[in-house]
């Protein structure tokens, strides 16, 4: 009986809920960043993530996340269904959810940065290099002038 409940939770409900969470959190990541940093240049560098991009990212990341999810949630759910009285089960699940949702948020934002932040990082490095080049040229000219004199 407990095994059936855990299996239904982990192989039917959890993938659907995790997929939905990934789509929403990645889709809303750019607008949330604009709310958090309204006067920052960060919002100008980051492009909007479309719903299609979010669905594609969630599709790519669902299996690796579920593989990480199963050891954690199978243990939590098995203990919850087997040993925890019915009136405390929700408390156990919500407490376990705090840790899991923190991990899931970190993981999804890391995936967004890896998939959508590479171009921006490369542009930023190139801009930094371009800003340094004139300084280097001026420094070399001054150095050569000093050596010639």
The model's pLDDT over 55-80, given as tens digits with 9 standing for 90+, comes to: 998 999 999 999 999 999 999 999 99
Does pLDDT of 146 surpass 60?
no
Distance of alpha carbon 114 from alpha carbon 20, whole angstroms: 20
Reported as half-sphere exposure (CB side, CA atoms, 13 A), residue 110 has a value of 8
Residue 110's pLDDT is 85
Residue 129's pLDDT is 65
Residue 43's pLDDT is 45
Does pLDDT of 29 surpass 90?
no
* pTM score above 0.85: no
Q: Where are the alpha helices (DSSP H) in the chain?
A: 2-8, 14-27, 29-36, 42-45, 51-83, 89-116, 118-148
∠ CA 14-20-22, rounded to 5°: 100
Distance of alpha carbon 93 from alpha carbon 90, whole angstroms: 5
Give the pLDDT band (50/70/90) at residue 135. Answer: low
Residue 37's pLDDT is 56
Closest CA to 18 of 68, 53, 52: 68
Distance of alpha carbon 131 from alpha carbon 15, whole angstroms: 47
């Amino acid at each position: 009986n407990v095994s059936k409940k855990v299996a239904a939770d982990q192989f039917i409900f959890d993938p659907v809920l995790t997929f939905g969470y990934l789509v929403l959190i990645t889709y809303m990541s750019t607008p949330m960043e604009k709310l958090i940093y309204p006067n920052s240049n960060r919002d100008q560098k980051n492009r909007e993530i479309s719903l299609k991009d979010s669905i594609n990212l969630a599709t790519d990341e669902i299996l690796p996340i579920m593989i990480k999810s199963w050891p954690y949630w199978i243990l939590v759910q098995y203990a919850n269904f087997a040993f925890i009285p019915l009136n405390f089960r929700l408390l156990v699940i919500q407490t376990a959810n705090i840790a899991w949702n923190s991990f899931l948020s970190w993981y999804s934002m890391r995936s967004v940065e890896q998939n959508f932040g590479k171009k921006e990082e490369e542009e930023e490095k190139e801009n930094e290099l371009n800003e340094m080049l004139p300084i280097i040229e001026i420094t070399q000219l001054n150095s050569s002038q000093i050596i010639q004199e």
